Structure 1
Amino acid sequence: MKHSLTPWSLAAVAALAMAALTTSPTSGLADEQGSAPDLTHSTVLSGLDSPWDMAFLADGTMFFTEKCRGLSVRLPSGDVKALLGMNGSEGYASRADDLFCEGQAGMQGVAVDPDFDENRFIYVYATSSMAAPGSNRLMRLTVSGDLGAVSERSDIVEDVPYKPEATDHPFGGPGAHNGGRVRFGPDGHLYLTTGDTHNGEVPQSPTLLGGKVLRIDRDGNAVADNDPPDGFDPRIFTYGHRNVQGVAFRPSDGQPVVAEHGPWHSDEVTVLANGGNGGWDPRPNMAGRGDCPAGYCGYMPNQMDGMDPVERAKFMPMTDTGTYPDAMPPAWTNNGLSQGMSSAVFLRGEQWGAWDGRLAVGIMGIGFGGTPLDMRIDVLDLAEDGLSVTEVTTMSLPMTAGRFRSVVQGPDGHLYAAVDQGEIYRLTPN
């Protein structure tokens, strides 16, 4: 059954933007109500190669991706079937030799069609050599009745930018800033998040699909009521992003919310407005900046010895409201730190106690800009207006933390967490 989704208008967000420029939520290990659930855990899978995402069928069947291997499925019995391998992968039912892994690029997000029982469709975001020098694309695949194979590949989005090797680029390596999360919203449409590929022109570009959130139908076509500015690709739902790796939908009203990596400061959680600008613009000579290496100012403040995160944010703002006063304001900025905010999911069900309806975000603990490594899952109480977070609770984990790449609630109501180190855990509230 589909639910209606009415994304917030730009005018409504802009009217309240200044109220959300700073937030100071309480944080700690215990919920202020004293009713945060205790957690136990089990290891669902181990020995994986950078597991990146998971998607479930109603019976607990779990599709999952490994960034440098491919797509597999875990059956409710615990058996695993390797479905679609990448170039060089062995042991898969089929292989796509145009798909490759390099740096942050590879096989990433996966989503199951809400009508899977009728159409057998799943969707996978991956990096391909089919168009030089490479591109990111969203593939639609048909799953066999016995869940042992995929076929009928259709690349419904083919033109998301990919960062190739560049001798004149001092930041990162090839494959950087891909975004990569794909989710169905309660409106029945696909949302795909992309990254800026360390290219200063990309986030604000009306035609390049990097640094965007796309909203499309099952065939990759723009949703009719997408409302980007005139001249923009109609598939664009929001633009001006840096590297969005999480998108989730608030249970109370279906509002899309994203989690995004910051530029060595200020990871952000933002409620999206249809047609909205995230305010990221790393081009030279914006906001009084001078020339930057390779035309990308995204890391410039970190080359200034002794500059603290507050000063960095002034120099290279994640959300530049000076240049773009109507930019979508973040609800939370991770206390001004950049620690690699990745996947996000709203927890649902009375088993979560006070956390029912709250947003869980996985943090990989990159530790940019001198911040400490801090691998964790935070639970955010998002204010009703979407412009602040009133409470932040760090999960007291029953296992050793890892770089939390994906957090997904399964049909059993438990939280499944994939870590880059090679495990997928099940976290059960008690």
Structure 2
Amino acid sequence: MPRSRALAASAAVAAITAAGCSSAPVGQVPASGTRAAATPSSASAPALAVETVAGGLTHGWDIGFLPGGKVLVSQRPGQFALLSSTKPGATVTQVRADTADIQVGGEGGLMGMVVHPDFATSREFSSCQTHEENGSPVDVRVVTWKLSDDEKSATKVKDLLTGLPLNASGRHSGCRPTIAADGALLVGTGDVADGSAAQDKANLGGKVLRVDLETGAPLADNPDPRSPVYTYGHRNVQGVAVRPGTGQVLTAEHGPDKNDEVNLLRAGGNYGWDPAQGGTVPGYDEDVPMTDLERFPDAVPAKWESGETTEAICAAAFLEGDQWGALEGTLVLTALKGAKLLLLSLDGDANVTSVAIPPEFDDRFGRLRAARTGPDGALYVTTSNGDDDKLLRITPQA
């Protein structure tokens, strides 16, 4: 997004506030030891129209839009669902796929997903999944699939990226893939509750990875061209969003019992999570700061923090298109624990200037997981309650 449009969007949110819709000012993280202000639960936003595209899903983890208007949804228990359209009343068909090697349990299973840009000819998409062999956890991996011409089944093409760490419980498995503006595949990963993972550049946990979408190989212009690691020092990256028109990439990251973070990625950046404190503390000490600027003075400060509570922010997506009016360019976060949407207004440098909470989502639909902007400009969100989960379509009210 050009700087002029970003500043205009920020000013528009301020105008909306003055007109009677509240917007919560958000503190930044200017120095070590300071914390950003929490988002008040009373915040609100301009009215949104929320429609149910379809129900009958189970923990819908990610959303992919296919040519012709159909939608693919990955479900954590290990199934892909194909929805007949993006409009309310869509039918849901379970796609046959051999997912018997997916370890389903805790936070693990079939997770994030991206549809390849050349899907119209290749029919390929890639998914994150926790992988087991002989009943034992092996790793988290990104697998490329091919959807059959009749759309009834998907076959595995290859393991695109392997070796992301995994523990038996599936805790902090990540794993959100997104295609960057330059076509690279970005993958946000979790630290699997391993205290040393985030700061260890040889470990793929607690990172954002950057690889070739076709081969899975590290890209030549990575900080280390031999490694897929793009940024490190993360706890559990659940959302990766590319800001339209800028190339900026922002991530949503789970905090322990407070301070969920939104971060702006910087190649080679350390984001300061170190629950092992350099190996001096055995195990996994979650009382350390999410961004420890005392241990790592050069760590990249968060652009936003949730404060003294955690919303368990998950997916991240940008609203795009003239139909959004003042909200165009807003960063949307879904929240699992918070069971709400958060709308973050950003300036041109991706500093968060205000946060609004649409009342239509304040614990009305339960836990919210995926968020993607569709080809029609609408925002699509999944619920993650485990019982008759839904794909929701969100547009601005006239």
Normalising by structure 2, what TM-score? 0.84
1:119 corresponding residue in structure 2: 122
1:181 corresponding residue in structure 2: 176
RMSD, aligned CA: 2.3
Question: What's the secondary structure of 2:72's corresponding residue?
Answer: strand
Which residue, out of 382, 387, 394, partners 2:346? Answer: 382
8 Å CA contact 2:29, 2:304 repeated in 1: no
| Number of equivalenced pairs | 359
Supply the AA of the counterpart residue of 1:358.
T
- The question of 1:396 aligning with 2:363 is answered no
8 Å CA contact 1:136, 1:158 repeated in 2: yes
2:78 corresponding residue in structure 1: 69
Deviation at 1:326, TM superposition (A): 1.3
* CA distance in structure 2 between the aligned counterparts of 1:106 and 1:150, rounded to whole angstroms: 17
* CA distance in structure 1 between the aligned counterparts of 2:29 and 2:353, rounded to whole angstroms: 17
Supply the AA of the counterpart residue of 1:264.
D
- The question of 1:140 aligning with 2:144 is answered yes
8 Å CA contact 2:207, 2:233 repeated in 1: yes
Distance 1:25-1:104 versus aligned 2 partners, 3 A rule: closer
Question: What's the secondary structure of 2:120's corresponding residue?
Answer: helix
2:252 corresponding residue in structure 1: 259
Alpha-carbon deviations, 1:7-43, whole Å to 9, x = none?
Answer: xxxxxxxxx9846965459866455xxxx3x212221
Which residue, out of 260, 285, 299, partners 1:327? Answer: 299
* CA distance in structure 2 between the aligned counterparts of 1:163 and 1:73, rounded to whole angstroms: 30
8 Å CA contact 1:51, 1:65 repeated in 2: yes
Deviation at 1:425, TM superposition (A): 1.2
2:90 corresponding residue in structure 1: 78
2:203 corresponding residue in structure 1: 208
Matches of residues 205-284 of structure 1 in structure 2 within 5 Å? 205-218=200-213, 219-228=215-224, 234-284=227-277
Deviation at 1:186, TM superposition (A): 1.3
8 Å CA contact 2:141, 2:162 repeated in 1: yes
Deviation at 1:144, TM superposition (A): 1.9
- The question of 1:420 aligning with 2:381 is answered no
Distance 1:337-1:17 versus aligned 2 partners, 3 A rule: closer
8 Å CA contact 2:67, 2:120 repeated in 1: no
Question: What's the secondary structure of 1:278's corresponding residue?
Answer: coil
Deviation at 1:395, TM superposition (A): 1.2
1:296 corresponding residue in structure 2: 284
Supply the AA of the counterpart residue of 2:152.
G
Distance 1:252-1:336 versus aligned 2 partners, 3 A rule: farther
Moved over 3 A (4+): 16-31, 130-133
Deviation at 1:260, TM superposition (A): 0.2
Supply the AA of the counterpart residue of 2:82.
V
* CA distance in structure 1 between the aligned counterparts of 2:37 and 2:322, rounded to whole angstroms: 28
Deviation at 1:81, TM superposition (A): 2.9
8 Å CA contact 1:60, 1:410 repeated in 2: no
* CA distance in structure 2 between the aligned counterparts of 1:48 and 1:212, rounded to whole angstroms: 29
2:158 corresponding residue in structure 1: 154
Supply the AA of the counterpart residue of 1:242.
R
Deviation at 1:285, TM superposition (A): 6.2
8 Å CA contact 1:65, 1:109 repeated in 2: yes
Question: What's the secondary structure of 1:351's corresponding residue?
Answer: helix
Normalising by structure 1, what TM-score? 0.78
8 Å CA contact 1:238, 1:274 repeated in 2: yes
* CA distance in structure 2 between the aligned counterparts of 1:248 and 1:94, rounded to whole angstroms: 28
Supply the AA of the counterpart residue of 2:195.
G
8 Å CA contact 1:268, 1:334 repeated in 2: yes
- Structure showing the higher strand proportion among its residues: 2
- The question of 1:39 aligning with 2:11 is answered no
* CA distance in structure 1 between the aligned counterparts of 2:220 and 2:376, rounded to whole angstroms: 34
In structure 1, the gaps of 5 or more residues are: 1-15, 84-92, 165-173, 302-315, 366-373
8 Å CA contact 1:267, 1:340 repeated in 2: yes
Deviation at 1:341, TM superposition (A): 0.7
Alpha-carbon deviations, 1:317-358, whole Å to 9, x = none?
Answer: 000111111111101001342220100001001211211001
8 Å CA contact 1:284, 1:296 repeated in 2: no
1:89 corresponding residue in structure 2: none
2:61 corresponding residue in structure 1: 52
In structure 2, the gaps of 5 or more residues are: 1-27
8 Å CA contact 2:59, 2:77 repeated in 1: yes
